[in-house]
Structure 1
Amino acid sequence: MNTDQEKVLKYLISVEKLAEEILSDRREIVMLDARRNHNREALRDISKSQQKCWVTVGSVLIKHNLEATKNLLEADQKQLNIDINKLRSDLKMKVNNLRDLEMQPPVPGLMLVPMSQKETEGMTSAGLFSS
């Protein structure tokens, strides 16, 4: 192969690899979000329960204390939120990198973040907008 063909091949490989990572991350976000929704449903159902509940650990059913189960589900919810947010922020960077490889401009507004409470209070006190 000559050098031009090798460059094109390397370019196509890098684009395809990055695109596959993006698709994989999106699938993982969907999977984690479904798990988060199941946890949310379980937390709601636990609030209706009396004192004991059944928890699945792998393929084993265990009768477990209600409060301990609630704590486990809440901890899992926090971890899922962290994982999903990290994947989403990494996904933004990968999408921009892919667009750079494709020689397209970045997606407008993709990297926007909401204002913090302190920034909002400063804008309100300066009279730039009302809350």
Structure 2
Amino acid sequence: MNDQDKVLKYLVSVEKLANEILSDKREIILLDKRRNHNREALRDLTKSCQLKCWMTVGSILIKNDVEVTKNLLEADQKQLSIDINKLRCDLKVKLNDLRDLEMQPPVPGLMLVPMSHTEMQGLTKAGLFSED
């Protein structure tokens, strides 16, 4: 394999990973917009004093009970949050992989996670952290 083939293979792998990162970012934005629309709909339903409401499923309008619709929207909210968090975690890994391919150091602090409740309690008991 000559140098040109190696360079071409390297550039293809970098471009492929960069395109995956960009498509994941776009997907996160679209899912977040959908989550905001659901949040707005839930807020309107909680303000409403009606027993029935109209909702769209694809291109079909359906008249449904408000409580059933709220439950559907809340379940959709939970699933959207799970999907967004999964994409964000995968995005961090892909970004570090891209930086490895570009021979750059990883982004400092990118993989940080918050401390758990038990870790916080341990620090508090040891006197290293106060909850004031």
TM-score tier after normalising by the smaller chain length: over 0.9
> Which residue in the other structure is 2:47 paired with?
48
Cα distance between partner residues in 2 of 1:102 and 1:129: 39
TM-score normalised by length of structure 1: 0.97
Amino acid corresponding to residue 105 of structure 1 in structure 2? P
Range with greater deviation from structure 2 (44-53 or 71-80): 44-53
> Which residue in the other structure is 2:63 paired with?
63
Counterpart mapping for 1:19-98 below 5 A: 19-49=18-48, 50-98=50-98
How much has 1:105 moved relative to structure 2?
A: 0.1
* Number of equivalent positions: 130
Cα distance between partner residues in 2 of 1:129 and 1:74: 36
How much has 1:3 moved relative to structure 2?
A: 0.8
DSSP-derived class of the 1:55 partner: strand
How much has 1:48 moved relative to structure 2?
A: 1.3
Amino acid corresponding to residue 102 of structure 1 in structure 2? E
Range with greater deviation from structure 2 (105-114 or 57-66): 57-66
DSSP-derived class of the 2:84 partner: helix
> Which residue in the other structure is 1:114 paired with?
114
Q: Give unpaired runs (5+ residues) of structure 1.
A: none
Q: Percent sequence identity over matched residues? A: 77
How much has 1:58 moved relative to structure 2?
A: 1.1
Write the deviation string for residues 79-117 of structure 1: whole angstroms up to 9, x where unpaired. Answer: 000000000000000000000000000000000000011
Moved over 4 A (4+): none
How much has 1:45 moved relative to structure 2?
A: 0.3
How much has 1:28 moved relative to structure 2?
A: 0.1
Write the deviation string for residues 19-41 of structure 1: whole angstroms up to 9, x where unpaired. Answer: 00000000000000000000000
Alpha carbon RMSD of aligned pairs, Å?
0.8
